[in-house]
Structure 1
Amino acid sequence: MAASSSIFLVYFLLPLFSTATLHSSSLYRSQLITQQESLPKSATPITFFEVTKPIKLPKTKPCSYLILEHDFGSTYRKPPILANYTPPLNCPSQKFSKIVLEWRSTCKGRQFDRIFGVWVSGVEIFRSCTAEPTKNGIFWTVKKDITRYSSLLMKNQIFAVYLGNIVDSTYTGVYHVEIFVHFYPAEVRLGGFDSVADLIVPISRNMHLNDGLWFEIENSTDVQSKDFKISPNVYRAVLEVYVSFHENEESWYANPPNEYISSNNLTIAGNGAFREVVVSLDEMVVGVVWPFTVIYTGGVNPLFWRPISGIGSFDLPSYDIEITPLLGKILDGNSHKISFRVTDALNVWYVDANLHLWLDGKGMKTEGKLLKYSCSPLSLSVLTNFTGLDGSFITNASRSITLTGMVKSSYGTITTKSSQSLSYSNYMVMGNEGNLQIVDQIIEFNDTVYATTPSSSVHSLESFKKYLFQ
């Protein structure tokens, strides 16, 4: 396994203490519309973009296919748009080193930012936020490396796209969308421990229901779950989790403590500034997600995100949890359950997951055993110091989870140890009679996986992420 690391930096000053609810405030939104329409008009549509690391592509010429073309108008609370998909049978090569999803969209008029997702037969492969249009129109495109889903894309599937949009006399923007998939041929496909999964099991809702295929978590006690079974010859398993936060949770990292809200008789989002998505297998906590602080294109002030969108807004990150050490618990042929909850959630979190499975092609059955399990309880502290509307709050948190297990397959007996180590600090200041809010937040999210083979060689995957928000 190759080592990897990533660092995300966000610097931001929140101008008002009520920033967490500005996006859902009709008064503030109407003021922004007035500001937008007073800006100089461009004769041509504006191109929006997110600053990201470019996808490293091979030199081969891609085989490109238009998967779906649709106008998303009045689609809120309606079923996803479906499209039949067939693999690229006409491509000169059937071995691909890179597969890229391309989303292209235009919009003209007035419109909120809208969250949307793309699924392949229930497996989410892309979650994003739309750009907010102008009177003369906008255009944006997003490219995402979806090579890890290649086992799905080699079979007939159903693409599902949900973009819940509302069109009325005020909000007139219709999102015109095209989705392409580009297949880049390669002479040889890489194998071994870093290869893509042979099978991906969706942990999501039914695609024929209204809204997206994600689970909607409505409060801190709400638990959403999905039953699943795995093949008897699995030797590796990784759970990929998608999360996004909305309504009163859109700026959760800036939510003050409830004590401050009640003391000042405020009607703003609260529950403090810490959240974690807890993932359980059969009621046992197996991992957590402390999400990156994505600011959507309508967040805080939409005028900040023209034409450069916030980091992660056009391609929301997913989070991997290595659960190979737990295979001994789920290789019994029975149904098992993966569930999600969000600590201190106020209302809306969209969560679902994909279970990536590697199969032993030389054996009909593998065996596993959980050797060690350690899950420290969440350590969370909040220090408050305020008088009236002014003051400061310090929030600290930490958590660690370690799983160790063995799997016996045709590759021999491999022992895998996976661990998460997380720390969090949030320093929030309220000033100027509550009209100024400053947030300084750091999340360290470190994952390590070590797999020891029969020859005593060790494959390692290390991911060290540090999210700064100021």
Structure 2
Amino acid sequence: MGHIRAAKHQQLRAANVFRPLVCTIIMLMTLSFHVLASPSSASEYRGLLPHRMLAGRASNQSSSFLDVFQVSPPVLSPEDAPCEKTLMVHSFAFSYGKPFVGEYSPPSCDFNRVTFNFTVVSAGRQFDRLGLMYFNDTEVFRTSTAEPTATGIEWTYIKDMTNFLVLFKEPQKIIFDLGNLVNEIYTASFNATLTATFFTDNVASAPADVIIPISARQSANNAPSAFSLPGQNATNALTLPRNVKKAVFSISACGQAAEEFWWGNVPSSNLLTFPAMELSGYSPFRETQLYIDGMLAGVAWPFPVIFTGGVDPGFWRPVVGIDAFDLREDEIDVSAFLPVLCDGDEHTFEIRVAGISDDGYGHGSLTNTVGASWVVTGKIFLWLDASDWITTGSNLVRIDPHPALHISSSVSSLPNGTNVTLEYSVQVQRHLSLSSTIKTSEGSRVASWQQTLTFSNQGNYSDGGNLQINTQSTKGVDLSSLGYSRAYDYPLWATTAYAFYPDDAFTIGASIDRSKNVQTLGQLAFPSGLQTFGFEETIHPNLSPFSGTTTVNRQNGTATYTSIPSQSRSYSSGSTEQDLKFAGVEASLSDLQRGLPDVKGSTELYHRHVLAVNSSVVEDEESFSGQTFPIYHSSSTGNQDFAPLSLKYMLGRGPYGT
């Protein structure tokens, strides 16, 4: 119902245009897209000391393991660490429901900065796995694994943890949950080492005084504390301190199982377009939502993370997908709620994940549920006022109309009624604004949070559902009266096609072009990344501080995957090219409440370009404001064996029973 079904000759001809593309994509393994790098500004940066940030970044050239890595800006971590602690040495093998449990105690040294070094070695065959680390009930790190080789892989990821400084000052129970399964087919364990480095350095803004988790609170049972939506209710009731002057909420969320490829889902009215194929619904749109006392307090439109077993694993060895080793959190300034939250009473904080339900006639609405499952937690970062102060203020002013939804779809069919193609379009626009006047010991000020977001996804299935093309755009602007803004753009284009052969063998061909582009001015709870580049006045007296940063991170490539179930073997090959630029920007933050300020200038601080073909890095250079350094890697050639995966595991769709 609501579909356009026809058997006209011209429609069949249009549908057949895509049939040759199935074979074309399968053969794209030898091709590589070239990054269209945006023009970089001339750098004025001088005196950079690369050794300050390169600790742990060089490949282990004495190792026979393949070096796997995520392309991301470097993190400040001293080369000769004055103070380190090993927090975990553990092998995750039969680890479902069996997290690592350990204890943390603060080091004896003085410190105001903390970094993590997470190193993993794995050999054999294995799926990618999701990992979450907690201090007691508070999630502090979310990551995922690479898929290993028979001869072994190794990766190291360094993460700035300074925003959790208050937690590192007290003893904590460590719970690291990385569910894994080892058997005669999936043979690899993940052997992980986690160390923390503590040091002193200039800090751009003071970390929070208090961090309160919104989680399942299972640490007393030595269990992880994530919620799984929609099966659980991700709500905590809390009483906050009464002297809060700034409050920021962060959401950590990612889709798993039927929701891992949410960006490729179809409108629910189209689920049965291809009767032999299982599709996932609620549309390709997802929104994570924060409710305070049942009132919408802010939203986040997630970046589409692709894990190392996703779409086609040939993309992700040795270069993993954007954010795969560090699943970033979204921040919401909730300071406008402080006149209510500081009243001494209990208040509820709830995280929801919404999709879209449609009727097939172009009408839709946001849902209170999605497929299974989304793994979510949250945190409230609080900055405290004088101990004898009670924060008060005016009533909250809210502008949060329902989002504007535009949904359409059409289906073309053969004369016998067999559906051949499905085309659909989903567009969403949302704006919300919350503000109040809060009274702190320093006087009264306006506390406001505004968000303006737009989303579109154009989807096309052809060849009876074997070929899928998605073109998605996610854009948003977040504005806080705290002198913070974030403008982001997540373009995604993905094409996937598969073909079956005798004995249930199949081949997937895929092409991807996607980016994560973010401009951040000011800072809420999480570090900006500028500290890496030594803007301390004692080191670079001629540099004025930047207002914020711009990150342009583009990744594209092609890959093929062949599965031979009768031999329990799978092979994949492909090429991936990535270009990352990280720059400091100058802008006036005084007019943030009137809109996103104009950037007055930009200085490139870091640039990395990588090209990998068939599991070997053929080009890898990083530049620090004009100073270029090649990075050398161990290599691997030829088609690589992967864990045998199903179509639904890799693409989120496929014939029933796969």
Shorter-chain TM-score bucket reads 0.7 to 0.9
**Distance apart, 1:271 and its partner CA:** 2.3
Aligned position for 2:284 = 273
Aligned position for 1:427 = 458
Alignment of 1:357-376 (within 5 A): 357-361=382-386, 363-376=388-401
Alignment pair present for 1:443 and 2:443: no
Q: Deviations over 1:9-47 (max 9, x none)?
A: xxxxxx98xxxxxxxxxxxxxxxxxxxxxxxxxx92111
Aligned position for 1:30 = none
**Distance apart, 1:208 and its partner CA:** 4.1
> TM-score when scaled to structure 1?
0.83
Aligned position for 1:234 = 244
Gaps of 5+ in 1: 1-14, 17-42, 452-459
Look up the SS of the partner of 2:480 in the other structure: strand
**Distance apart, 1:184 and its partner CA:** 2.4
User: Do the aligned partners of residues 293 and 234 (structure 1) sit closer, same or farther apart at CA in structure 2, a change above 3 Å counting?
Assistant: same
Q: Distance in 1 between matches of 2:222 and 2:135?
A: 17
Residue 65 of structure 1, aligned match among 85, 107, 124: 85
Aligned position for 2:563 = none
**Distance apart, 1:288 and its partner CA:** 1.1
Residue 165 of structure 2, aligned match among 117, 133, 150: 150
**Distance apart, 1:211 and its partner CA:** 5.8
Tell me, yes or no, if the aligned pair for 1:226 and 1:337 is still in contact at 8 Å.
Answer: yes
Look up the SS of the partner of 1:389 in the other structure: strand
User: Do the aligned partners of residues 59 and 171 (structure 1) sit closer, same or farther apart at CA in structure 2, a change above 3 Å counting?
Assistant: closer
Aligned position for 1:215 = 227
Residue 430 of structure 2, aligned match among 380, 399, 409: 399
Aligned position for 2:302 = 291
For residue 352 of structure 1, what is the amino acid of its counterpart? Answer: T
Tell me, yes or no, if the aligned pair for 1:392 and 1:428 is still in contact at 8 Å.
Answer: yes
Tell me, yes or no, if the aligned pair for 2:175 and 2:223 is still in contact at 8 Å.
Answer: no
Aligned position for 1:55 = 75
Tell me, yes or no, if the aligned pair for 1:327 and 1:369 is still in contact at 8 Å.
Answer: no
Q: Distance in 2 between matches of 1:58 and 1:450?
A: 34
Q: Distance in 2 between matches of 1:103 and 1:58?
A: 15
Aligned position for 2:189 = 174
Q: Distance in 2 between matches of 1:189 and 1:398?
A: 37
Say which is worse superposed, 222-231 or 351-360, in terms of deviation: 222-231
Tell me, yes or no, if the aligned pair for 2:392 and 2:439 is still in contact at 8 Å.
Answer: yes
Look up the SS of the partner of 1:264 in the other structure: coil
Aligned position for 2:408 = 383
Gaps of 5+ in 2: 1-20, 23-62, 356-369, 413-418, 494-658
User: Do the aligned partners of residues 292 and 66 (structure 1) sit closer, same or farther apart at CA in structure 2, a change above 3 Å counting?
Assistant: same
Alignment pair present for 1:258 and 2:268: yes
Aligned position for 1:185 = 200
Tell me, yes or no, if the aligned pair for 2:111 and 2:198 is still in contact at 8 Å.
Answer: no
Look up the SS of the partner of 2:464 in the other structure: coil
State the percentage of identical aligned residues: 30
For residue 431 of structure 2, what is the amino acid of its counterpart? Answer: S
For residue 188 of structure 2, what is the amino acid of its counterpart? Answer: G
Tell me, yes or no, if the aligned pair for 1:325 and 1:369 is still in contact at 8 Å.
Answer: no
Q: Distance in 2 between matches of 1:210 and 1:113?
A: 24
Aligned position for 1:338 = 349
Q: Distance in 1 between matches of 2:297 and 2:304?
A: 23
Alignment pair present for 1:467 and 2:490: yes
Aligned position for 1:416 = 447
**Distance apart, 1:391 and its partner CA:** 3.1
Larger Rg: 2
Say which is worse superposed, 207-216 or 341-350, in terms of deviation: 207-216
Q: Distance in 2 between matches of 1:189 and 1:264?
A: 56
Question: How well do the aligned residues superpose, as a CA RMSD in angstroms?
Answer: 2.0
For residue 132 of structure 1, what is the amino acid of its counterpart? Answer: E
User: Do the aligned partners of residues 62 and 255 (structure 1) sit closer, same or farther apart at CA in structure 2, a change above 3 Å counting?
Assistant: farther
Q: Distance in 2 between matches of 1:120 and 1:210?
A: 11
Which structure is higher in RCO with an 8 Å CA cutoff and minimum separation 6? 1
Look up the SS of the partner of 1:326 in the other structure: helix
**Distance apart, 1:362 and its partner CA:** 5.3
Residue 138 of structure 1, aligned match among 145, 150, 153: 153
**Distance apart, 1:54 and its partner CA:** 1.4
Tell me, yes or no, if the aligned pair for 1:363 and 1:410 is still in contact at 8 Å.
Answer: no
**Distance apart, 1:207 and its partner CA:** 1.8
Q: Deviations over 1:208-246 (max 9, x none)?
A: 458631110036xx6421111111111110001100111
Q: Distance in 2 between matches of 1:467 and 1:189?
A: 29
Aligned position for 2:105 = 86
Aligned position for 1:28 = none
